[in-house]
Amino acid sequence: MENLFMYILIAAMMVIAPGVDTILVTKNTLTLGIRAGQFTTFGIAAGLSIWTIVAVLGLAAIVAQSIVLFTTIKYLGAAYLIFLGIKSFIAKNTFSFEMNNSENNELRNPSIGQYKRCFLQGFLSDALNPKTVIVYITLMPQFINPHQNVYLQLVILGSILILAAILWFLIVVHILNYIRIWFSKKKVQNIFNKVTGIMLVSIAVKLALEKR
């Protein structure tokens, strides 16, 4: 591999840049707590892992060059984001805060099903994002030494991107967990849900209308 340090910096900047993943991690952490944010993060990592496997198997270029396949993935991803956006927009008072006898806010324990949904949301947000495959076929080859094991290099570069995503979003989750108390008011909850919904739908529309 060549210029590995430069690749790490670029991968970090890509992960930190606000997008759908950031919105989902923020929403799930604030609504369901730190574990929900962690499950969302691991779902994102799983989605990225799918594209790493695709790249290693040599299918990334095929996906990118196939208009039908690329467009199908793009519209499926946009539709899913619209679904999440509408669901968030119409939701009311979803944050899991409740008052106890000592007048302190306590977190309810979300169900396993809710954690699974958080994981699935994170997974699908990346697995159905065709732009991820563009990263693999345009960015990564620039850091690959053709005289060495290409498959191993793809695995390493993909793993670095996945690890960067996990580390960054786990940091975000822990920070958000400390400010959850400020979102206990119903008015704040409703505003947050609607803003999140609008952002997700806007990103979905942009994704659907964007040309390759």
Each residue's pLDDT tens digit, 110-150: 788 889 999 999 999 888 877 777 777 777 777 887 778 87
Q: Of 36, 6, 42, 66, nearest to 180 (Cα)?
A: 36
Confidence of residue 9 (pLDDT cuts 50, 70, 90): confident
Flag whether the pTM goes above 0.85: no
* Phi, psi (deg, nearest 5) at residue 107: -90, 135
Helix, strand and coil in the chain, % to nearest 5: 75, 5, 20
pLDDT surpasses 90 at 40: yes
pLDDT surpasses 50 at 97: no
Cβ-contact 91, 84 below 8 angstroms:
no
The whole-number pLDDT of residue 99 equals: 37
**Which of left, alpha, beta for 3 (phi over 0: left; psi -120 to 50: alpha)?**
left
pLDDT surpasses 80 at 184: no
Read off the pLDDT of each residue in 100-105 and give the average, rounded to a whole number: 38
Which residue pairs, CB below 8 angstroms and at least 24 apart, start in 141-145? 143/1, 143/2, 143/3, 143/4, 143/6, 143/7, 144/1, 144/2, 145/1, 145/2
Q: What is the mean pLDDT of the chain?
A: 78
Most confident region among 72-76, 173-177, 195-199 by mean pLDDT: 173-177
pLDDT surpasses 70 at 206: yes
Supply the DSSP symbol for 94: -
As beta bridge partners, residue 98 has 106
CB count within 10 Å of CB 61 equals 14
Angle between helices 34-56 and 150-178 (to 10 degrees): 170
- Quote the Cα angle for 29-85-109, to 5°: 30
The whole-number pLDDT of residue 185 equals: 64
Read off the pLDDT of each residue in 180-205 and give the average, rounded to a whole number: 72
* Phi, psi (deg, nearest 5) at residue 97: -115, 150
Confidence of residue 104 (pLDDT cuts 50, 70, 90): very low
CA–CA dist 91, 93 (Å, integer) = 7
